[in-house]
Chain A
């Protein structure tokens, strides 16, 4: 028997009111989700299961959808190359002549740099590895600017990794699944990037607003920047390596400083993800606090650490319990005698090892070999 013909069939439900209740319930769910959203924190935990599922599914589907567009672009490029081969050849010859002189300069500078590094005993970190990825989806609305790349955790990508194109910084990895990564672009309204003006070293925060040119905020003074200044990452906070090119400073019609992004001038379908780790942030506080200190066994701290004449100069102060407690652990550390200076490595033999932070910053020099001029100052 059909429902309408049953006794309950005459029961009239006020559908408009029921629909209104449904709207309210759906609205409450949406508000709860919005309030609990923490995507701007760029933490692994904040990237929920729903987003990961959508990314996992969307990456191959969007890749298939984007394929015809990519093929069309390649076809247009092939036609363009075919018709403009002669002019392209002339242009490339001119560039080659110019590049030859730059190559000689670069070889000279590299040798000089190697010599300085040897003299200073610098221990640089190994080159930071990168992963190339294809962009399969690109959102560019006013409320969200992000891309989905088809490379994920399986190739070592983690949340927070910087993403660059061949011209400069594109954004950061905001979420990662096994096979896909979500890249939060510099233009996204949740994006905050520590940058500096290359000419003056003035620090600022690059703040996205959904438009094509993010804002330069928290500049200390207005005269520290002028139109056309190169803007690079400052490396402050350890979230990004120092010296990645971002763009050039421009002024908007209201007089605010913005940045014309360098990455805008490149193709958008390929990016490189830098597997950057800030070594200054690697200390595991929990592990450090839980580890037991080795026992201190000293017979006579004053006799082993303090020189006789120093002990004579301030015998009372050094005999106090506080000083003994500080000095005692030091006494247990064996101190090698300074080696004789070798004629082959005069400075390296006595140079102290560089601190880890400095080594980390030095590592940024290896990331962008095309932009060595950004890395010289701190």
Chain B
């Protein structure tokens, strides 16, 4: 069988490297830095690979990559263990289900899809936090984090562009 149309992509390139970059960016933006009373925003960088991995191709490794990223977020940010893992997986599963609808869409439309998947992750986080802490998180805080995360779409778009055509079976 010829592999000309279906060359396997290296998991280190499309899974490990983006995940490591996300971890680095998260740590960078967690620096205690305040200018004129304003702090850096705290976007969820892990949404970038979560969205892109689901769009690029279905994979067995990617969900566990998403889970590991979520567990890192929980450990590093100090939230309940499993919260971001579950929230990101909810977004990943939704995008995986809808990926056929996304194929061939314009960039603006993909941005809307990215915003939708981010919204699902944030809503899941809101809901699970409510159940876990028996308290309602600040909606304003959720909204700010959502807006900061949605602005990361160009990075997700770049990642999709890099690997979307790597294996024509998944186009």
Contacts and interface: CB of A to CB of B under 8 A. Distances in A.
B62 A30 contact: no
Contacts of A19: 58-60, 62-63, 96
Contacts of B128: 34
A143 B87 CA distance: 12
Contacts of B114: none
Interface in A276-301: none
Given A50-B71, A209-B135, A138 B129 contact: no
Contacts of A76: 35
B30 A15 contact: no
Given A4-B1, A40-B133, A140-B42, A211 B138 contact: yes
B12 interface: no
B39 interface: yes
Nearest to A72: B33
Contacts of B108: none
Interface in A33-50: 33-37, 39-40, 48, 50
A22 interface: yes
A65 interface: yes
A326 interface: no
Interface string B43-81: 010000000000001111111101100111011111111
Contacts of A62: 27, 30-31
Interface string A61-75: 110011001101100
Contact of A29 (B1, B61, B67): B67
Given A19-B63, A22-B63, A69 B138 contact: no
A189 interface: yes
B77 A141 contact: yes
Contact of A23 (B34, B83, B89, B145): B89
A69 B125 CA distance: 30
A15 B31 contact: no
Contacts of A269: 32
B42 A141 contact: yes
A58 B27 contact: yes
Contacts of B135: 189, 207, 209
Contacts of B129: 142-143, 189
Contacts of B96: 16, 19-20, 23
Contact of A30 (B33, B75, B82, B145): B82
**B contact face: mostly helix, strand, loop, or mixed:** helix
B64 A34 contact: no
Contact of B141 (A18, A27, A69, A141): A141
A138 B83 contact: no
A124 interface: no
A145 B3 CA distance: 49
A66 B33 contact: yes
Contacts of A138: 30-32, 39
Contacts of B125: 142-143
A174 interface: yes
Interface string A109-151: 0000000000000000000000000011111111111110000
B30 A139 contact: yes
A189 B77 contact: no
Given A62-B27, A66-B31, A33 B82 contact: yes
Interface of B: 1, 3, 27-28, 30-35, 39, 42, 44, 57-64, 66-67, 70-72, 74-86, 89, 92-93, 96, 125-126, 128-129, 132-133, 135-138, 140-142, 144-145
Interface of A: 4-5, 9-10, 15-16, 18-20, 22-23, 25-27, 29-37, 39-40, 48, 50-51, 54-55, 58, 61-62, 65-66, 69-70, 72-73, 76, 135-147, 174, 182, 184, 188-190, 207, 209-211, 267-269
26 contacts: A18-B60, A20-B93, A26-B63, A26-B67, A30-B71, A30-B82, A33-B71, A34-B83, A36-B81, A37-B132, A39-B81, A73-B34, A137-B32, A140-B39, A141-B44, A141-B141, A142-B141, A142-B142, A143-B79, A143-B126, A143-B137, A144-B74, A147-B32, A189-B133, A189-B135, A267-B34
